Chains A and B, each alone.
Chain A
Amino acid sequence: MLENFVLEKDHLLPLLRKLGRQYRLVAPVRNRHGDTLFTEIHDLDRVEIDLEHQPQSSLKPFFFPQVEVLSMYGLDHDTSSGATWYSFYPQLPENRPTVYFGVRSCDMMAVMYTDMIFLQSSEYDVYYARHRENAIFITIGCNQPFSNCFCNATRSGPFLEHGFDIQLTDIGDRFFVETGRARGVQLRRQWAYFFRDATEDDRRAQFQAALEARGLFNRLVHVDLVTRILARQEEPEAIFAELSARCQDCGGCAYICPTCTCFTIHDQALDEDRGERLRTWDACTFSGFTRMAGGHNPVDPDRQRVRKRFLHKLLHDVEHHGRTSCMGCGRCVDMCFGGVDILRFIEMVSENETEHEETP
């Protein structure tokens, strides 16, 4: 059963200072350029934690870095025999206990999705696991969804039912506090003096805030309808072609997406005898993503390059995992200057359907 508490707003910084002594602290920080990004905090008194704006980045880079060393290779010499040989040595990332503070529901759901991809399938990913172990999530419900948000339609917000360690809800001068997983319960107990038990008034205020938030979404997005349409055999080829033509091959949508996990592996020489094998983010919309040595490409980039992205998120993940891997965060809408975002796709497919239905 969830336990409920209250954290006064002026207790927040003292609590974070305490946490910062025991854990690495990551939170949305507004930088001098006016960007709000999840950032590792070294000195709480010198940064501005921003809970007003949607963080432009998700937590993805903390668990699945844009560039990560998988192994080192080097040429070894046996001085007595003169023999030389190459070896690869796995390099595991360091594992630092971290509190992720101010995480929105969509981003928490995205972490749960990437857990499934990297940890629960047949091949356990040790690199992801090292980053992911010892992570504590203090999430915050969204009282006021942002302009491109549609997590109501992807069932990944604006508040969480599970998955968090601690979930906060802003109820005016205080936060309503729910403890979820064991680490959250333990953390609340360890610093019990920052919290008080929630009263009936606090519960009512939380209920009111959560209820009101559901009515504040700007957009009506037919995610389930589009999944149903895509599940029928005929594909929206014309829509794929139109959006593919407008894609500028930048990969921004995949990089900013909290659930895009495609990668490539390549070598980086450090000197003549040594180097690193790296894993870096990749994007299925890149024209070379599926091109094989010799030049053959089973995907026609001009007409099909967005197909994998949208079908994977809205259809195949529903078939495999029971839900879309779009979490409705809307980041790709701001990122894409060609208008090739998932919202545009969902709207085009669902409008198409409505027209069909209206035709006698």
Chain B
Amino acid sequence: MKAIDPRILTPTMVRISEAADMTAQERFFRLRLSRPLGHRPGQFVMVSVPGIGEAPISICCGPGDHDRLELLVRSAGSLTMVLRRLEAGDQVGIRGPFGTGFDLADFEGRDVLIVAGGLGLAPLRSLIEPLILDRQRFGRITIISGCRTPADELFGREMRAWSRVPGTRVIRLVNDTAHLPWDGEVGLVTAPIAGLDMDPAATLAVLCGPPVMYKFVIMELAGRGLAHDRIFIDLERRMRCGIGKCGHCQINHLTCCQDGPVFRLSTVQSLPEALA
């Protein structure tokens, strides 16, 4: 029998070192870990508040030998409503990292097109950071990020900094300026795809956003000749265990927590429910 490790289902408590509202709905947390998490981009952790419960939250910082863990949390459920009130010095429980995530080797020497809708930028930031950090290893990087109004924009300052990195283009969009000052574009994330300077044989695309976005972005990418096994999609599901047992995140024969949450589109496109 294998070594028994009850810690898989038991959280470790860690301190919040920094907490700040990023928008009216999203709060950014930096946690201080006792040792590096050793995560891959696109992985997630189960975050606990004792007495309230646990929920899956995407890791939004790049991997590396550091003791910080960054999370961007939207207040949407019972746990995240409590997380919203936590400050630096408070504690949360962590289990993980879970999921397959992205393999940076897949992106080596390729052009990368990243399409993020709303909160989808948070998990993709864990991929963008290492791409930018080791810039020469990868081809051209294009980031399309859209949100509702300028007040909903996430990581705006970082996106401006990324756009100044050579060979990196950042297209920031809002659906509606809502009479607020805005230095980006207006429209949906699908709009810029048709006009991109893109070599479909050398490009990998990565999508994360609300389900309604996928269908239209995939149509645009197909129009540019991008094959479905060159499109990665980072899915969101209800999850309870993170280890492929509880059943909640099952998509046909796959579990989102173990086989995903990052999938090649070719793996999930024919599965009912997957992109719903």
B12 in the interface (beta carbon within 8 A): yes
Return the CB mask of A86-97 against B: 1 if under 8 Å, else 0: 111110100000
Given A118-B245, A123-B8, A267-B53: A312 and B240 interface contact (C-beta under 8 Å): no
Give the interface segment out of A103-111, A214-222, A256-264. Answer: A256-264
List A contacts of B2 (CB < 8 A). 124
Tell me the smallest distance from the CB of B245 to a CB of chain A, in Å.
7
Contact pick for B55, options A269, A279, A293, CB 8 Å: A293
A148 in the interface (beta carbon within 8 A): no
Instruction: Report B255-269 residues with CB < 8 Å from chain A CB.
Output: 258
Tell me the smallest distance from the CB of A238 to a CB of chain B, in Å.
14
Instruction: Report B235-253 residues with CB < 8 Å from chain A CB.
Output: 236-238, 240-241, 243-253
Contact pick for B91, options A86, A122, A267, A315, CB 8 Å: A86
Contact pick for B247, options A70, A123, A263, A267, CB 8 Å: A263
Q: How many residues of B contact A (CB 8 A)?
A: 51
Contact pick for A90, options B10, B50, B245, B258, CB 8 Å: B10
Q: How far is the CA of A277 from the CA of B241 in the complex (A)?
A: 12
Instruction: Report A93-135 residues with CB < 8 Å from chain B CB.
Output: 117-119, 121-127, 129
Q: How far is the CA of A117 from the CA of B250 in the complex (A)?
A: 14
Give the interface segment out of B30-38, B72-80, B102-110, B155-163. Answer: B72-80
A292 in the interface (beta carbon within 8 A): yes
Query: Are A70 and B248 touching (Cβ within 8 A)?
Result: no
Given A88-B12, A92-B6, A233-B270: A298 and B237 interface contact (C-beta under 8 Å): yes
Tell me the smallest distance from the CB of A67 to a CB of chain B, in Å.
15
Tell me the smallest distance from the CB of B243 to a CB of chain A, in Å.
4
List B contacts of A298 (CB < 8 A). 211, 237, 251, 273-274, 276
Query: Are A282 and B53 touching (Cβ within 8 A)?
Result: no
Contact pick for B76, options A89, A266, A293, CB 8 Å: A293
Given A284-B247, A292-B238: A88 and B50 interface contact (C-beta under 8 Å): yes
Interface residues of A: mostly helix, strand, loop or mixed? mixed
Query: Are B51 and A289 touching (Cβ within 8 A)?
Result: no
Contact pick for A304, options B248, B252, B273, CB 8 Å: B273
Query: Are A70 and B10 touching (Cβ within 8 A)?
Result: yes
Query: Are B244 and A121 touching (Cβ within 8 A)?
Result: yes
List B contacts of A264 (CB < 8 A). 240, 246, 248
Query: Are A294 and B74 touching (Cβ within 8 A)?
Result: yes
Given A293-B80, A319-B253: A88 and B93 interface contact (C-beta under 8 Å): yes
List B contacts of A320 (CB < 8 A). 253
List B contacts of A262 (CB < 8 A). 246-248
Query: Are B246 and A291 touching (Cβ within 8 A)?
Result: no
Query: Are A263 and B241 touching (Cβ within 8 A)?
Result: yes
A252 in the interface (beta carbon within 8 A): no
Query: Are A294 and B77 touching (Cβ within 8 A)?
Result: yes
Task: Please name the residue on chain B nearest to A265 by beta carbon.
Answer: B240
List 19 additional contacts besides A86-B93, A119-B1, A292-B236; criterion CB under 8 Å. A85-B13, A86-B13, A121-B245, A123-B244, A123-B245, A126-B5, A127-B6, A127-B9, A262-B246, A263-B245, A264-B246, A267-B50, A277-B54, A279-B9, A282-B246, A293-B77, A294-B76, A308-B250, A316-B253
9 A-B contacts, Cβ less than 8 Å apart? A73-B51, A75-B50, A126-B4, A264-B240, A284-B250, A290-B238, A293-B55, A293-B74, A320-B253
